[in-house]
Structure 1
């Protein structure tokens, strides 16, 4: 994953045509994340997984609930929501997952994500009872992700809105080994290039459902 620069994110609770899915999988993106906040079910995850598996692109399950976990993915991302006000989203749900799936876990396929949710209007912000951090908070979370928890990923999640490139740049200076992943509101090639200037990896998700042609162009924008 160290060489990845672009990931598409697909929501198993949303519809995508076979034609559009083929374009996503053959776009040149480095990987596809399957994940969402609302109405993520095992049936929905399995359906999307089976369709993506027709192609060679690596496929990741970002775990949002234990009930939708299934074998068959190349990687599993487990979020730890660092700015949640509930310990549940930093430790308890992960603890439950370990109890349930420890004998089946292949740790070389599992990556923990230090999540920092930065959009108050986002469903994930409300669902995980987050507190909106200021700049110093975000920088401290990034520092903690790498130095204290040794997490492989620090994920700046703006979920549905375009974030602050200046803050992403400042966060990038805090990280040496931990990958900086940015997600949220990227709808154009220009925005993709702007965020990729500072983030190691950008994630493009919502615009696949709102402005598909522009979303697909984001791959060439940072790889071309």
Structure 2
């Protein structure tokens, strides 16, 4: 994970043909992240995992629903939505999951993500009741909270379908020390992929896979070529 530069995020609740999935998995991306804000179930998650496992690409689960926790992933990413107004998304769901599965978990496979949701119109913001009306100092404070206080391995700036403020992303990257900065949102082709890769440690491409596969695939090389 420490070396990942490019990640494709696939939603179990969205259709993706076998040929398209094969191209994504063989694209040279560093990993496939499986997750979504709604409609994620055990059945559609295990189905997508089985299809991805035909290939050698690392595959991780971003856990949003306790019922959709499927064994067999390389890592399990646990989001802590720092700017959520619903505390269930900060400690509530995590507590319930640990109450049921804590004694069985392999903690070497568990990674905490300090999430900052920055698109107030997104499904993720609505579900978590995230306050996305943040100024730069707010975002910087949340990044420090995740990096310095909570010591999350990942700080995730999530613009969820919209292209974010790259200067702010760059500022957050300069702040985090031990955390790896993931950026997601609006990366729909190689140009934006290059811009995002110049600011964040890791670029996550999701919606573009379903909207324009060719441009989505072109983001892999664009990110890899960006220093």
Query: What range is the shorter-chain TM-score in?
Result: over 0.9
The number of residue pairs the alignment matches comes to 224
Given that 2:203 and 2:223 are in contact with CA atoms closer than 8 Å, whether structure 1 keeps it comes out as no
In 2, the alpha carbon distance for the partners of 1:3 and 1:120 equals 30
Moved over 4 A (4+): none
1:150-171 residue CA offsets vs partner (Å, 9 max, x unmatched): 1100000000111010110111
Q: CA deviation at 1:103?
A: 2.1
1:46-103 residue CA offsets vs partner (Å, 9 max, x unmatched): 1000000000000001001100001010000000000001211111110111111112
* Pairs within 5 Å for 1:79-90: 79-90=79-90
SS at match of 2:49: helix
In 1, the alpha carbon distance for the partners of 2:86 and 2:46 equals 30
Gaps of 5+ in 1: none
SS at match of 2:183: strand
**Partner in structure 1 of residue 74 of structure 2:** 74
* Pairs within 5 Å for 1:127-166: 127-132=127-132, 133-166=134-167
Q: CA deviation at 1:173?
A: 1.1
**Partner in structure 2 of residue 8 of structure 1:** 8
Given that 2:190 and 2:215 are in contact with CA atoms closer than 8 Å, whether structure 1 keeps it comes out as yes
Q: CA deviation at 1:222?
A: 1.6
**Partner in structure 1 of residue 102 of structure 2:** 102
Give the CA RMSD over aligned residues.
Answer: 0.7
SS at match of 1:173: helix
**Partner in structure 2 of residue 120 of structure 1:** 120
In 1, the alpha carbon distance for the partners of 2:88 and 2:40 equals 19
In 2, the alpha carbon distance for the partners of 1:107 and 1:28 equals 28
Q: CA deviation at 1:207?
A: 0.5
In 2, the alpha carbon distance for the partners of 1:54 and 1:31 equals 14
**Partner in structure 1 of residue 30 of structure 2:** 30
Gaps of 5+ in 2: none
Please say if 1:215 is aligned against 2:216.
yes
Q: CA deviation at 1:135?
A: 1.1
1:127-148 residue CA offsets vs partner (Å, 9 max, x unmatched): 0001122111100000111111
SS at match of 2:175: coil
In 2, the alpha carbon distance for the partners of 1:87 and 1:35 equals 20
Q: CA deviation at 1:38?
A: 1.2
Please say if 1:198 is aligned against 2:166.
no
